[in-house]
Each structure stands twice: as structure tokens, then as C-alpha cells.
Chains A and B, each alone.
Chain A
């Protein structure tokens, strides 16, 4: 079972395909889940703990907007944990936590520079492209060390 990082980090299709193959998906929701249920934070995700800016500084310099550092405090540890990555370019998804273009660029940069198996794809716009998209993801996941799945 391999830990696979994805971009967009909260993608339904990517997360589902990875879990079907029995791998662990490093989804943003799981990181947020821990954060929103942390009793130390009164009103998550509006507030952060004093550790978060420090975590964010590992990925972005102090002069980078605080929103980028705040987001990287959540997304960054997922990238560190990754053993493989699937990056989808031009995904028409940028809502909520991932609605920051600079963070998205930094996320992709961090994933690309990491020495792990990577698959880069374009978001499908028609039926044929979707078949290629799913086929390539499944083939890539099969090449990773994994077994089982649901």
C-alpha cells in the first residue's frame, strides 16, 4: 500500500480511483478532519494554533502571503508524507481551501521536485479523454507496490 498525494488535493475522482486500488490517498479532507475536531481550536478552520505558521514556514518564506503559509501548513505535511503523486493540470476545481492560485502553484512545485513516482495528466474534457485519464491512473497505480482494494 502506497501513500499517494493528489492534486487537486480534494479531488473526488482521484481519491476514489486510488482507494479502489487499495492505496492510501493523502487527501486534504483527512488533514482538515483532524484540524476541525481538535478541541484546542475554538472555531476551526477560522483559527489556527501557534504551531501552524511555523509549519507553513517550512514551505514558504516569511514574505509570502499568510494565506499561502496557512494553507501550506495543512497541505505541506501531506506532500512530505507522499510516496507517489498524481497531478492533474487544468482541473476546473478551485473552491474552498484550495481556492488560492499561488498555493496551488507551490503545491505542484513541491510535488514535482520530490523524487517519487509521478503521473501528470490533463483534466478530461470529453468521453475519450476520460477513458484515457482513468486508464492511465489505473495503470500507474498498478505499477506501485500495492495489493487488494475495495
Chain B
């Protein structure tokens, strides 16, 4: 019999609350803090949140207001190298937890791909570069007519 990869979760009353949110705190490669430090610091905040220590940083869940407050405080430790992202599933949800689905969750691969540029993103935030945003302009009608005529001429000469 094949394994059940879509186990029905037993969500708590708190997790079913519309205000409940889960955020992932991801440390960039150049972070000056460790996973341990951010988890300890979050516990010291004494907020009604659940904190889970993970390989990439931490996962924090609870009421949205408390979670955002915790993130704001944690980011002060290393503003340019602590990144956050919201997560759809609550922590330990059997539908996504790797302990139940025999391999990393899809989101892990996504995070792994983006992790490669996080060091440079952190540096870019620290030393912002002045850039110019070029707005795409439509092609000028005269220029378009010229291009069409040129391509017609080319086709005609090729046929001859």
C-alpha cells in the first residue's frame, strides 16, 4: 500500500484563527548571528509566539501582530542579512513536514535557489547602488515601417 502523503492535519484552535501566521526567518550566508542567537532572542521577547529552530534560521508562528513585532526586533540584530518570508502551512503540518513526506518540501528547493544570491542582496542593501530604471518605450512607427520594408526587401532578394 502506498504511503499517505496527504494526511489530514489536526490543527489547533489557534492555528485555525484567521490572524494566525507563520513566518520563516532565513539567515543570509554573511549573517553575523547564528540560528541559536535569534531563537534565544525571540524567546527573550516574551511574546505569545511559537518558535522553531531550523537549519536555515527559525520559523515563528502566532498572532500576526506578535509575529511581526518579533521579526522587527530580531532584524535589529543584523538588518542586512536576516530575511523573512511567510509560509502557508503551520509548523510541523504533516502535509509538508519532511518527516511524513519522505523528502524535503518543495519550498526548501525554492529557498535553496534564492539562498545563492542572498549574500549579494545583503551587500546591496548595505551599500545601495544608484541605478536608473529605463522605462520600456514602444517602437517608433517610422522605425517599424523601415524594419518591415527592409525585411520585405531581404525576402524579395532571397527569392530572386
Residues of A within 8 A of B (CB): 10-13, 15-17, 19-20, 27-37, 39, 42-44, 46, 92-93, 95-97, 99, 119-120, 124, 127, 130-136, 138-140, 150
Across the interface, which residues of B come within 8 angstroms of A95, CB to CB? 106-107, 109-110
CB distance from A146 to the nearest CB of B (A): 16
Q: Is there contact, CB below 8 Å, between B11 and A124?
A: no
- Known contacts A12-B114, A36-B95; A136 and B133 CB within 8 A of each other: yes
Contact with A along B1-43 (1 / 0, CB 8 A): 0000011100100011010111000100000000000000000
Asked if A131 contacts B129 (CB within 8 A), the reply is yes
Q: Is the CB of B86 within 8 A of A124?
A: no
Give the interface of B toward A (CB within 8 A). 6-8, 11, 15-16, 18, 20-22, 26, 68, 71-72, 75, 83-90, 93, 95, 105-107, 109-111, 113-114, 117-118, 120-121, 123-125, 127-131, 133, 136
Closest to B4 in A: A43
Do A12 and B88 have beta carbons less than 8 Å apart?
no
- A43 adjacent to B6 (CB under 8 Å): yes
Instruction: Give A99 to B110 CA distance when docked, in angstroms.
Output: 11
**Distance of B4 from chain A, by nearest CB (Å):** 9
Q: Which residues of A contact B110 (CB under 8 A)?
A: 10, 12, 93, 95-96
Dominant SS at the B interface?
mixed
Task: Please tell me if the beta carbons of B83 and A13 are within 8 angstroms of each other in the complex.
Answer: yes
Instruction: Knowing A13-B121, A130-B121, say if A27 contacts B86 (CB, 8 Å).
Output: yes
Q: A93-B114, A136-B131 are in contact. Are A12 and B83 (CB under 8 A)?
A: yes
Contact A138 B128, beta carbon cutoff 8 Å: yes
- Number of interchain pairs (Cβ within 8 Å): 113
By a CB distance below 8 angstroms, the chain B residues around A10 are: 107, 110
- In contact, B131 and A135 (Cβ under 8 angstroms): yes
Please tell me if the beta carbons of A37 and B6 are within 8 angstroms of each other in the complex: no
Chain A contact surface mostly: helix
Contacts of B83 in A (CB 8 A): 12-13, 16
Asked whether A130 lies within 8 Å of B114 as measured between CB atoms, the reply is: no
For B24, the closest partner residue in chain A by CB is: A12
What are 14 A-B interface contacts by the 8 Å CB criterion?
A12-B85, A13-B117, A15-B85, A15-B86, A27-B86, A32-B89, A36-B88, A39-B16, A97-B106, A130-B121, A131-B129, A133-B124, A134-B129, A135-B129
Task: Indicate if the CB atoms of A13 and B128 lie closer than 8 Å.
Answer: no
Q: How far is the CA of A93 from the CA of B131 in the complex (A)?
A: 25
In the complex where A12-B85, A37-B90, A96-B110 touch, is A150 in contact with B8 (Cβ < 8 A)? no
A83 to B26 CA separation, bound complex (whole angstroms): 27
Report the Cα distance A20→B126, complex, angstroms. 13
Whether A16 pairs with B88 at a CB distance below 8 angstroms is no
- Our pick among A20, A33, A119, A150 for the contact of B133 (Cβ within 8 Å) is A119
Known A11-B114, A27-B86, A33-B22; contact A43-B8, beta-carbon cutoff 8 A? yes
Ranked 4 nearest A-B pairs via Cβ: A96-B106, A32-B88, A134-B124, A130-B120
